[in-house]
Homo-oligomer: A and B are copies of this chain.
């Protein structure tokens, strides 16, 4: 530690991360919540969090927590915002960095999650959360919507292979509106981010729907994909 910095060292503030974990299952966008195991507010629902260690970045801390909880590696992460009001956590002065995480529900370890008293909630059924976690979730969801507007998301949420109807239902959930099937298909395919497989899903229609998968390229867009998805108030 440089000696010029030393006089500021006596600040007593804890550093944490909180993860907003989104998943998609049974045609529903879901959120993974935890029964809090320590006081204060023990037993109430909250986002999963963890302390940032001295030797790691906030991103590393979030990855560590997520791997610990789900058993998955290489989870998609995006910084949402810092929450740092000194009194936001009644248990102490905690600055927290919020992260969005997208995971494939079917791939993670259900045993681990059960062990930690966690449960997946549909977006419409989220209970009241502790502290300022409601606000964190609100900002996080807004950020997810923004991402879905500029990027074609689903790579991290859907199974390896999926139909365009599956993808459309995911977007319907995120924006809480019904996208037109024909227009959605044309728009998505025009992005050339998907690759059609020689295999059909016969479970939902007689004709069968082709499976698609994401191409192995970066999908970065700087223009909105779905102009109408975000509405004026």
- A interface, over-half SS: loop
A210-233: contact bitstring with B at CB < 8 Å (1 yes, 0 no)? Answer: 000000000011111001001111
- Given contact pairs A11-B53, A92-B1, A231-B222, A58 touches B84 in the complex (Cβ within 8 A): yes
Question: Is the beta-carbon distance between A84 and B4 smaller than 8 angstroms?
Answer: no
Question: Is the beta-carbon distance between A224 and B221 smaller than 8 angstroms?
Answer: no
A54, CB-defined interface residue at 8 Å = yes
Nearest opposing residue in chain B for A97, CB measure: B82
* Candidates B2, B13, B95, B230; contact of A92 at CB < 8 Å: B2
Which A43-65 residues sit within 8 Å CB-CB of chain B? 51-59
A4-47: contact bitstring with B at CB < 8 Å (1 yes, 0 no)? Answer: 11001101111100000000000000000000001110000000
Question: Is the beta-carbon distance between B12 and A9 smaller than 8 angstroms?
Answer: yes
Nearest opposing residue in chain B for A4, CB measure: B38
CB of A148, distance to nearest CB on chain B (Å) = 13
Per the bound structure, the CA–CA distance linking A57 and B231 in Å amounts to 32
Interface set of A (CB-CB < 8 Å, partner B)? 1-2, 4-5, 8-9, 11-15, 38-40, 51-59, 79, 81-82, 84-86, 90-95, 97, 220-224, 227, 230-233
**12 new A-B pairs (CB below 8 Å) besides A11-B14, A222-B231?**
A1-B91, A2-B39, A2-B91, A5-B91, A5-B92, A5-B94, A8-B14, A8-B51, A9-B14, A11-B52, A54-B93, A84-B97
9 residue pairs, one from A and one from B, having the closest CB atoms: A2-B91, A4-B38, A5-B92, A58-B84, A57-B84, A1-B92, A8-B51, A222-B230, A11-B54
